[in-house]
Amino acid sequence: MAWPIAEVARMSGVTARTLRHYDEIGLLPPARIGSNGHRYYEERQLLRLQQILVLRALGVGLTEISRIIGDQVDELEALRGHHHRLVAERDRLDALATTVSRTIADLERSRKDGTPMTAINRPENLFEGLQPADIDASLRDFPEHAEAARHATAAMTPAEIEAGQRERTARMVRLAELLAAGHPADAEPTQCMIDEEYRMLSGLRTVSPEEYLAIARSCTENEQWHAAYEAITPGLAAYQRAAMEAYAAARLS
């Protein structure tokens, strides 16, 4: 049985334009093209589309998806691998949800009776479920900067790497506190934090204003990094992006 592109778009929620793009880049050719020029898809193509969408949901880029699918031999084994990654991602998100829920309760108690939050709960518990990949995922779209980051961490001890990861996550939490307090993205307290981030970022290698703005856009456009921000608090990804764009306009132009 074959389904026309419009029906596949309806079933999958993917636009016909996206399906045509997948065909153009060789990722998902249709089973055949009719005399009317319409694309038709069969069961094999539907399974391939499912794999593409699963990998996209896991934050994998199209180039990497093409490599993964091109390297696989058995569809069933590939699906088992995708299922394993999805279960791992579900468990990670469950851990994140637990961490954020506990932090909310601790903050509410802290504001009610004035007890420091770190006296209520161990500071380490702020970071359960937050992995390094969550924070650095967008760098895979910037290979030169990713390579500089790898070079820098190669000379660090595991304890130093972990400390750096915790500090990056702590900055995300502090930014969330500024958002919750109502500070605009271009307000001085927020811009001071962004300046700190920029200096750390440019400490690895020189970052042009254009590249910095591209990294800012990845806060909302990179699925995995966006999810990491939103796990801290809704709206944080857009707030980070807006703050970085304001910084670039004020200090990098």
Note the pLDDT tens digit of each residue in 212-237: 999 999 889 887 778 778 877 889 99
pLDDT level of residue 97 (50, 70, 90 thresholds): confident
What's the pLDDT at 139? 60
Answer for the pair 19, 39: CB distance below 8 angstroms, yes or no.
yes
The answer for residues whose C-beta is within 8 angstroms of residue 246's C-beta and 6 or more apart is 185, 186, 191, 194
Segment 107-126 shows an average pLDDT of 62
CA neighbor of 142 nearest in space, from 232, 193, 71, 202: 202
What's the pLDDT at 46? 92
pTM score, whole prediction: 0.49
CA neighbor of 135 nearest in space, from 214, 236, 224, 233: 224
- Separation CA 175–CA 166 (nearest Å): 14
Segment 16-40 shows an average pLDDT of 93
- Average pLDDT over the chain reads 80
What's the pLDDT at 39? 94
Residue bearing the bigger pLDDT, 199 or 163: 199
Segment 39-48 shows an average pLDDT of 91
Answer for the pair 93, 120: CB distance below 8 angstroms, yes or no.
no
Between helix 158-180 and helix 223-232 the angle, nearest 10°, is: 60
Using H for helix, E for strand and C for coil, what is the string for the chain?
CCEEHHHHHHHHCCCHHHHHHHHHCCCCCCCEECCCCCEEECHHHHHHHHHHHHHHHCCCCHHHHHHHHHHCCCHHHHHHHHHHHHHHHHHHHHHHHHHHHHHHHHHHHHHHHCCCHHHHCCHHHHHCCCCHHHHHHHHHHCHHHHHHHHHHHHCCCHHHHHHHHHHHHHHHHHHHHHHHCCCCCCCHHHHHHHHHHHHHHHHHCCCCHHHHHHHHHHHHHCHHHHHHHHHHCCCHHHHHHHHHHHHHHHHHC
**Is residue 41 pLDDT above 80, yes or no?**
yes
What's the pLDDT at 187? 96
What's the pLDDT at 1? 87
Segment 121-125 shows an average pLDDT of 53
Listed range (8-12, 220-224, 248-252) with the worst mean pLDDT: 220-224
**Is residue 193 pLDDT above 90, yes or no?**
yes
- Structural domains in the chain? 3-72 (1.10.1660.10), 130-252 (1.10.490.50)
What's the pLDDT at 70? 78
Answer for the pair 194, 244: CB distance below 8 angstroms, yes or no.
yes
pLDDT per residue over 124-172, tens digit each?
A: 455 555 554 444 444 656 777 777 777 777 777 767 766 777 677 778 8
What's the pLDDT at 133? 45
What's the pLDDT at 151? 73
**Is residue 250 pLDDT above 90, yes or no?**
yes
- Separation CA 29–CA 48 (nearest Å): 10
What's the pLDDT at 72? 64
Rank 9-18, 94-103, 156-165 by mean pLDDT and report only the highest: 9-18
